[in-house]
Structure 1
């Protein structure tokens, strides 16, 4: 195996960079073009990011995190504040949408970072010599 494909990639660092919506390789280039479209190549380091296969993983992670946060919020609001049902539904609906929109690109960055660090879906392939 070539030496490049044997080097270890730091998964924790790649996850942090993905959560910041940055290139998992250099941490400087933007990971997304638009809201959720992953760039084909990093503008800073030239890393090929077209191999990513995030699919539905970021949506599942977002639902998991938002659901757990809102479950606690529902409990605290109901026990401590006792708002009217309409007020509670309104506040929680806005919180759910806002939190989901905020977390979705970060969860996609996390998934792309893990795939890059673990050399999944072609991220570890050595380019063929032409």
Structure 2
């Protein structure tokens, strides 16, 4: 068992670190254990550990999960709005591009960091880890 696995296997001191709501800590980009330390260094780079409680973030691997959710959510919003505008006003294609490309970029980039934080907070809450084959 590695040092990190033993740290995660120990029961967390509930008085020192009461359970945090994954939605609140994840969307704010805070540590999923203490809710105080920052989760990110830069835009999407996860810090090595929490500066407040010392939790190692090497368990955090959100993968492509946030991107998939963003594609679905932003796609639904932008395509829906584009269809409404097309049916109601029939603007030229250049106006569609002028409206929907910036909105897609703003929504996509704006949602990426909070959703990545939420996925990491959910991983911590449910002790998710990489699947292993029993031998």
**Shorter-chain TM-score tier:** 0.7 to 0.9
| C-alpha contact (below 8 Å) 2:37/2:51 kept by paired residues | yes
Relative contact order (alpha carbons < 8 A, sep ≥ 6): 1 or 2 greater? 1
Paired with 2:10 and 2:32, the residues of 1 have a C-alpha distance of: 20
Aligned to 1:51: 59
Give the secondary-structure state (helix, strand or coil) at the position aligned to 1:46.
coil
The one of 106, 116, 125 aligned to 1:117 = 125
1:4 is aligned to: 11
- Calculate the TM-score normalised by the size of structure 1: 0.79
Matched with 1:92 is 100
What secondary structure sits across from 1:95 in the alignment? helix
* CA RMSD of superposed structures (Å): 2.3
1:1-130 superposed matches below 5 A: 4=11, 13-121=21-129
**Number of aligned residue pairs:** 118
Moved segments of 4+, more than 6 Å: none
Shift, 1:3, TM fit: 7.4
C-alpha separation between the residues in 2 aligned to 1:97 and 1:104?
A: 11
- Deviates most, 44-53 or 31-40: 44-53
Q: Which runs of 5+ in 2 are unaligned?
A: 1-8, 131-135
Is 2:44–2:113's contact at 8 Å kept on the other side of the alignment? yes
